[in-house]
Structure 1
Amino acid sequence: MTFKNSNFSTNDKHQIQQVVDLITKELSNILVGVYLFGSSTQSGLKKNSDLDFLVVTLESISEDTRIYLTNELMTFSRKIGDNSDFRYIELTNVVLKDISPWKHPAYQDFLYGEWLRESFLIGDISKRDINSDVTIILYQAKSHGLALVGSKEILPVIPFSDVKKAMNEMVSVVAEEVVEDSVNVILTLCRILYTLETKEIVSKDLAGNAVKSYFNPIHKRVIELAIKEYISGESMVVEAQELVELANQLKIGIERKL
């Protein structure tokens, strides 16, 4: 596989190839496409950026295959807290008939993400479920994704009105995790606000820099610290109350745009 993006390190390319090889082997009879999206195909990967994959299949994945894919992906993906050069892998699978013709919200057939590792280790494997995030993933993949297998032509065009619905449905849930997952939550909320203003989904650091001027000096500083950690990995130290207050201010800004 040839990668034109010079931002991919040798390890990035190796991980991407591992995922593609796994999916094409295990899902060969039902596979429609594999797509890379997110920072890797837009502004470029930062130190703690995920490798985001979208997989489209003709039918739902069997239980045995879910278990096998999960176990294999756990060996490919960087663990939370690990300082290696490998990246976290996030992989979402959807079934073609669930997204074409398009209707929000859509079913997610299978999900792998590092924040779920503890659940995976006790046998709690991803199940088919409705997930508003599918709308945002498809919007990103259609706009800026890279087809690793198959064609982007099969991906539906997602109306921005549906993206707004999805963001509205997820913002409160995301904000509740601000103390436990501060950098990700603060910058995700910044990105939601930026997207509602521009209809573009950009990297978290770009979104944070674009909206930080809307806030008072204390909250602006927290956003800047979050961006610094996102880019460099240098941990920020911020009081929980400041995080909660900023998350609430971001929510207010988002709600005004919805």
Structure 2
Amino acid sequence: MPEQPDIRHLVQFLHRTLPDTLLGVYLHGSATLGGLRSRSDIDVLAVVRESVTQAQRRELVEELLRVSGVGGRRYVELIVVVLDDVRPWRYPPTCDFLYGDWLREEYERGMVPSPEPSPDLAPLLTMVLRADAPLHGPPPAELIDPVPHADLRRAIVAGVPELMDELDSDTRNVLLTLARIWTTLATGAIRSKDAAAQWALDRIPAEHRPVLARARAVYLGEEDERWDDLAPRACAEFLVREITGSYAS
């Protein structure tokens, strides 16, 4: 099991880096959806009063490159939003800063994340509100408006084509995310990846179950990741068809 990063250190670092603008820091994701799994990241949202400066962006990236996934620690995903970009709510919202280790090579080459529209914030902010897990600041509902259900649905569907483009390079995560999207569209609930996969396993044809079952087992640390003996694309395409049907209904 990866070592738990020092969340207090991360919050203190955000205080030092964003001293005049930090309003709240919130835990979300696996840590608040049934507990961290073997391959779970630490997901953190920070709400700020003003957009992060270029110097602050570089400092955030440098520190996260130093601690995220290093020395046996868990990976950290940090998203920063500006209060006025999420309240009042509008679609698509703007992500002011994003750090995720899938972009590590780009950060190491000098890329500094800049503000950009991000439909993915709709489910993320919904999870933050439901988790109600402040690490600093008031309860999230005092800073973040609820996301209308219609916007949540269209946001999670909007990311499906990009997910399918990543299927060969990130097979496990794509399959689990597709299962989670289908689950949310069908039930309205946002489940952990393993819980969403279990929900989907009870509803997919037998020929696709070994693929999704392995993705879930890899996520839980029960199996090593390999796909040469299975057909993940056929399973992913089935999940996409179910997503399309659920969204249309």
The answer, yes or no, to whether TM exceeds 0.5 is yes
**Percent of pairs with identical residues:** 33
- 1:75 equivalent to 2:66? Answer yes
State the one-letter code of the partner of 1:225: R
- 3-state SS in 2 of match to 1:56: strand
- 3-state SS in 1 of match to 2:50: coil
- 1:107–1:130 contact (8 Å) kept in structure 2: yes
Residue number among 83, 99, 104 corresponding to 2:86 in the alignment: 99
Q: Which runs of 5+ in 1 are unaligned?
A: 1-8
Instruction: Output aligned runs, 1:20-59, within 5 Å.
Output: 20-59=11-50
The Cα of 1:216 is off from its aligned counterpart by 2.2
State the one-letter code of the partner of 1:245: A
Q: TM-score, normalised by structure 2?
A: 0.94
Seen in structure 2, the aligned counterparts of structure 1 residues 179 and 145 have a Cα distance that, compared at 3 Å, is: farther
- 1:189 equivalent to 2:185? Answer no
- 2:45–2:80 contact (8 Å) kept in structure 1: yes
State the one-letter code of the partner of 1:22: F
Q: Aligned equivalents of 2:161 and 2:46: distance in 1?
A: 27
Residue number among 132, 151, 154 corresponding to 2:119 in the alignment: 132
Seen in structure 2, the aligned counterparts of structure 1 residues 218 and 76 have a Cα distance that, compared at 3 Å, is: same
1:55-109 Cα shifts (integer Å, max 9, x gaps):
1000100001100110001111005xxxx54111001000000111101101000
Seen in structure 2, the aligned counterparts of structure 1 residues 181 and 24 have a Cα distance that, compared at 3 Å, is: same
Seen in structure 2, the aligned counterparts of structure 1 residues 145 and 171 have a Cα distance that, compared at 3 Å, is: farther
Seen in structure 2, the aligned counterparts of structure 1 residues 145 and 235 have a Cα distance that, compared at 3 Å, is: farther
Residue number among 139, 144, 160 corresponding to 1:171 in the alignment: 160
The Cα of 1:135 is off from its aligned counterpart by 1.1
Q: Which runs of 5+ in 2 are unaligned?
A: none
Q: Aligned equivalents of 2:2 and 2:175: distance in 1?
A: 30
Which stretch has the larger CA shift, 140-149 or 51-60?
140-149
User: What does residue 60 of structure 1 align with?
Assistant: 51
State the one-letter code of the partner of 2:224: S
- 3-state SS in 2 of match to 1:232: coil
State the one-letter code of the partner of 2:124: I
User: Cα RMSD over matched residues?
Assistant: 1.7
State the one-letter code of the partner of 1:127: S
Q: Aligned equivalents of 1:227 and 1:145: distance in 2?
A: 26
Q: TM-score, normalised by structure 1?
A: 0.91
Residue number among 130, 135, 157 corresponding to 1:143 in the alignment: 130
User: What does residue 3 of structure 1 align with?
Assistant: none
1:127-156 Cα shifts (integer Å, max 9, x gaps):
110011111110110111411111112111
- 1:209 equivalent to 2:198? Answer yes
Q: Aligned equivalents of 2:12 and 2:99: distance in 1?
A: 16
